[in-house]
Amino acid sequence: MQNLTHYIGGAHAEGRSGRYADVFNPATGEVQSRAPLASREEIDLAVETAQKAQPGWAATNPQRRARVMMEFVRLLNRDMDKLAEALSREHGKTIPDAKGDVQRGLEVVEFCIGAPHLLKGEYTDGAGPGIDMYSMRQPLGVSAGITPFNFPAMIPMWMFAPAIACGNAFILKPSERAPSVPMMLAELMEEAGLPKGILQVVNGDKDAVDAILEHEGIASVGFVGSTPIAEYIYGKGCAHGKRVQCFGGAKNHMIIMPDADMEKAADALVGAGYGAAGERCMAISVAVPVGDETADRLIAALKPRIESLKVGPYTSGDDVDFGPVITAAAKENILKLVQSGVDAGAELVVDGRDFGLQGYENGFFVGAHLFDRVTPDMEIYRKEIFGPVLSTVRAGSYEEALKLAMDHEMGNGTAIFTRDGDAARDFANRVNVGMVGINVPIPVPLAYHSFGGWKKSAFGDLNQHGTDSFKFYTKTKTVTARWPSGIKDGGEFNFKPMD
Residues near ligand NAD (CB under 6 A): 146-151, 173, 175-176, 205-206, 209, 224-226, 229, 247-250, 281, 384, 386, 412, 453, 457
Q: How far is CA 109 from the centre of its chain?
A: 15
Of 191 and 205, nearer to ligand NAD (C-beta) is 205
Query: CA distances (Å), 260 to each of 20, 366, 372, 396, 439, in order?
Result: 51, 30, 19, 16, 9
The DSSP code sequence of 132-158 is: EEEEEEEE-SEEEEE--SS-TTHHHHH
Please state the closest distance from residue 59 (CB atom) to ligand NAD, in A: 31
Q: Which residue is nearest to ligand NAD (CB)?
A: 225
Please state the closest distance from residue 230 (CB atom) to ligand NAD, in A: 7
What percent of the residues of the chain are helix, what percent strand, and what percent coil, each to the nearest 5? Answer: 40, 25, 35
Of 266 and 431, nearer to ligand NAD (C-beta) is 431
From the CB of residue 77, how many other CB atoms can be counted at a distance below 10 Å?
A: 12
Of 141 and 225, nearer to ligand NAD (C-beta) is 225
Of 398 and 472, nearer to ligand NAD (C-beta) is 472
Please state the closest distance from residue 408 (CB atom) to ligand NAD, in A: 14
Residues that are catalytic: 281
Q: Give the C-alpha separation, 222 to 459, whole Å.
A: 10
Q: Give the C-alpha separation, 187 to 356, whole Å.
A: 38
Please state the closest distance from residue 279 (CB atom) to ligand NAD, in A: 7
Q: Give the C-alpha separation, 404 to 397, whole Å.
A: 11
* 195: DSSP letter: P
Q: Give the C-alpha separation, 153 to 189, whole Å.
A: 13
Please state the closest distance from residue 232 (CB atom) to ligand NAD, in A: 6
The DSSP code sequence of 53-109 is: HHHHHHTS-HHHHHHHHHHHHHHHHHTHHHHHHHHHHHH---HHHHHHHHHHHHHHH
Please state the closest distance from residue 203 (CB atom) to ligand NAD, in A: 9
Please state the closest distance from residue 452 (CB atom) to ligand NAD, in A: 7
**In whole angstroms, how large is the CA radius of gyration of the chain?**
25
Residues 6 or more apart from 320 whose CB is under 8 A from it?
Answer: 94, 310, 311, 312, 313, 314
Strand order, beta sheet including 389-392: 347-350, 369-372, 389-392, 284-289, 252-256, 413-417, 435-438
Of 175 and 294, nearer to ligand NAD (C-beta) is 175
Of 192 and 213, nearer to ligand NAD (C-beta) is 213
Of 49 and 147, nearer to ligand NAD (C-beta) is 147
Strand runs labelled E in 186-295 = 199-201, 220-224, 243-247, 252-256, 284-289
What angle separates helix 62-78 from helix 154-165, to the nearest 10 degrees? 160
